[in-house]
Amino acid sequence: MFKIIIIFSFFISLNLYAKKGSVTGFDIPRFVSLKSDEINLRVGPSVNYPINLKYITKNLPIEIIDEFDVWRKIRDHKDNTGWIKKGLLKGDRYVLAGIKSDDTKNFNYPMGKPIGIIKKNNILKLEKCLENWCYVSHKDMQGWVLKDNIWGVYKKEIYKIKFYQPIINLYWNFLDSKWLN
Burial zone of 168 (CB within 10 Å; 0-12 exposed, 13-18 middle, 19+ buried): middle
CA angle 66, 88, 127 (to 5 degrees): 85
Q: For 101-133, how does the pLDDT look when each residue is reduced to its tens digit (9 = 90+)?
A: 888 888 887 888 899 899 999 999 999 999 899
Q: Topology of 19-92 in CATH?
A: SH3 type barrels. (2.30.30)
Q: For 129-174, how does the pLDDT look when each residue is reduced to its tens digit (9 = 90+)?
A: 998 999 999 998 899 999 999 999 999 899 988 887 778 777 777 7
Enter the pTM of the model.
Answer: 0.80
Q: What is the 3-state secondary structure (H, E, C) of the chain?
A: CHHHHHHHHHHHHHHHCCCECCCCCCECCEEEEECCCCEEEECCCCCCCCEEEEECCCCCEEEEEEEECCEEEEECCCCCEEEEEHHHEECCCEEEECCCCCEEEEECCCCCCEEEEEECCCEEEEEEECCCEEEEEECCEEEEEEHHHEECCCCCCCECCCCCHHHHHHHHHHHHCCCCC
